[in-house]
Structure 1
């Protein structure tokens, strides 16, 4: 029996983008997703973690999720919504709403739980997926973001992080295979960083290679791996191991991603092996444009003047984002931001960031042949730091520094004399 489902992840409901709410953008995505569900009528919707942007989401963000669940259930009553907690979510929080979720044919897995005998509670982690005729068409292993406190030290197989992760995958896959029949698919939903996955600039500072997991955890008996955590849509190692990516760009480094959800069909007993697994990307419309301007100040000003000025956008959440990084080794004019805002049509755009990137200093050939082992004097050090900050030499500032230096040296001499 074939199973048909949607794979999405990393919604980050409630995100503040340079202190601006993303509520409108998330709202438009959810309206679009409801329409896809209404048209396609999948058996299940898999949300692979990071539902919220923070562990304690705002009431507005929670309301967005609950309203979506109600509307999705209204247009596709048979569809199951299966969710796992990501590293941005509180596993306890999203499991507390189970009575509400049941009303909308939804389930969530926030934590890995263990029984009193220290065995794994597999019934909460292996979930059946039904078709409209209430026949089981697939089994889904739901693995939330694995925190060490929840998986280490429970038995002889979980003495450290690596052994615990291997034990969890091996045990759950083995048990799921016992429960499934040949005509039922096996799916894994996981929020993890897999080796070979491409992260965005905004993710590199919080992910790191230390936690990257090997795709060898998923043996040949698995039909599809629905991953969350990385925001770029991509396959990892095999076509059936996929990140759906985030539905909206969560940083400027993600503005060129083709944001999507993944539509998947699996027929485990199809006569043609290449037809047993099929997927397609459903691209999500961008509702708020993002502009990144770079170059020297003159180039940036020209780019600013070239931006279209053909809209009046009343709602500030719908105005287009502008990020500026200009290249210079000199200090900015004091009124630079005002100059930019005077050019930028305020009723169409939001200037969310203005930053300066220093150019690489060119050294002459003679500087490469000389190695000065003498430590810099306080005056030399101050002058070097002052110039690196982009400020010009100034006799008045230098005089003030020398005065302060002499006062400090005199105080030091007095302290030494008094000892």
Structure 2
């Protein structure tokens, strides 16, 4: 069985106010062709389908058109989609009765029976190979919020309550999967979570489930899982030295600082109940990112403006494909007209300025004045909260307070 793992599409996202619909449409076209060319049997989307709890209509249209086209081109394709922390689980799951008839399984939140008890069997979906035989049982666990986790008893409070709660959810779900699994079938798990020692992209990823304090250990996932399809971290990576526990990474760079590493999906091959091979499939870059003078570098204004004027740009590109440009300038003193100078250097040229970063060099300024300027759009709610807290109190907020704030942010986003 060939399984394609992808995550973190963030349909509906904007980059400094510029919609990404063109890039997402091109990615989904590429993904459709890849499903065909690679004879994929199952597609797993591990969360953050959308960028927000209430996605715009064009983003919804992209998603549902993709599902319809994928099933039309590959009627036997199994599709499993789970919600991420950016998604509204209930909104994502709402059309499930209709989607199930198409062979598309969507899990927005943990299922519960009429008695109010967790019903892990409802997270299980068979994945078929090219002959129609069941090759794996997919244990489709979505993003787990603190409120989803079972409370620990007084005798179980030695460990981290959030981590232990996640462990118990996976243990129950995997046990249900083992009971349903037949000889020769694999266990495939999903998760949308922050794993211990994972490589973050700080400007575009929220610290979930309490952030670093509650990062999950890899042993949350049992050794007999053939493959664990993870979402949340945008940089593709294996976890804990286990090649079968893996973030696919996002298909697009979701912030300028993500431009420097490759974006991909993962094609995993499963046979006789185990992982026998995997391949990273590089996603083409549909809109270029130009960083002037270069990634991580700041230059004097004359050098930066000269480099900007020297950019080789394609006049034949449609506007939605014009490259994104970031300009990083180092100044000895404030230069109020700098933005106008940069705009003038790009005037009439096929490029879009998305960010102007300025760093003041030391000439008697305070540390705050010489630090690189950070735009509010670059900060996560947690960062703003911690900065405000440190203004009024000594040190950082207590981890319990921080976890409560993160739960409040999630509740507000879900109600938006």
Query: TM tier, shorter chain?
Result: 0.7 to 0.9
Mark the CA change 1:140 to 1:361 in structure 2 (over 3 Å): closer, same or farther: farther
Q: Which runs of 5+ in 1 are unaligned?
A: 271-275, 363-383, 391-419
Q: Which residue of 2 aligns with 1:227?
A: 230
Q: Deviations over 1:270-294 (max 9, x none)?
A: 8xxxxx5200011111010001123
* 2:120 pairs with 1:122: yes
* 2:215 pairs with 1:212: yes
**In 2, Cα distance between equivalents of 1:186 and 1:351:** 46
Query: Contact (CA 8 Å) 1:314, 1:347: kept in 2 or not?
Result: no
Query: Contact (CA 8 Å) 1:246, 1:260: kept in 2 or not?
Result: yes
**In 2, Cα distance between equivalents of 1:105 and 1:157:** 43
TM-score, with structure 2 as normaliser: 0.81
Matches within 5 A, 1:9-408: 9-153=7-151, 160-203=161-204, 206-207=207-208, 208-237=211-240, 238-268=242-272, 276-293=275-292, 294-315=298-319, 317-332=320-335, 334-344=336-346, 346-360=348-362, 388=369
Say which SS state the counterpart of residue 28 (structure 2) adopts: helix
Say which SS state the counterpart of residue 100 (structure 1) adopts: helix
RMSD of equivalent CA atoms: 2.4
Query: Contact (CA 8 Å) 1:46, 1:82: kept in 2 or not?
Result: yes
Deviation at 1:387, TM superposition (A): 11
Mark the CA change 1:9 to 1:337 in structure 2 (over 3 Å): closer, same or farther: same
Q: Deviations over 1:335-363 (max 9, x none)?
A: 3222222222534100111121123568x
Query: Contact (CA 8 Å) 1:127, 1:141: kept in 2 or not?
Result: yes
Moved more, 6-15 or 236-245: 236-245
Deviation at 1:102, TM superposition (A): 2.3
**In 1, Cα distance between equivalents of 2:46 and 2:206:** 21
**In 1, Cα distance between equivalents of 2:239 and 2:332:** 41
Query: Contact (CA 8 Å) 2:186, 2:273: kept in 1 or not?
Result: no
Q: Deviations over 1:226-285 (max 9, x none)?
A: 000000111112111111011110001110221111001011368xxxxx5200011111
Deviation at 1:162, TM superposition (A): 2.5
Query: Contact (CA 8 Å) 1:322, 1:351: kept in 2 or not?
Result: yes
Say which SS state the counterpart of residue 260 (structure 2) adopts: coil
Query: Contact (CA 8 Å) 2:4, 2:44: kept in 1 or not?
Result: yes
Mark the CA change 1:385 to 1:19 in structure 2 (over 3 Å): closer, same or farther: same
Mark the CA change 1:158 to 1:324 in structure 2 (over 3 Å): closer, same or farther: farther
**In 2, Cα distance between equivalents of 1:387 and 1:152:** 44
Query: Contact (CA 8 Å) 1:112, 1:151: kept in 2 or not?
Result: no
Aligned residue pairs, count: 360
**In 1, Cα distance between equivalents of 2:312 and 2:300:** 21
TM-score, with structure 1 as normaliser: 0.80
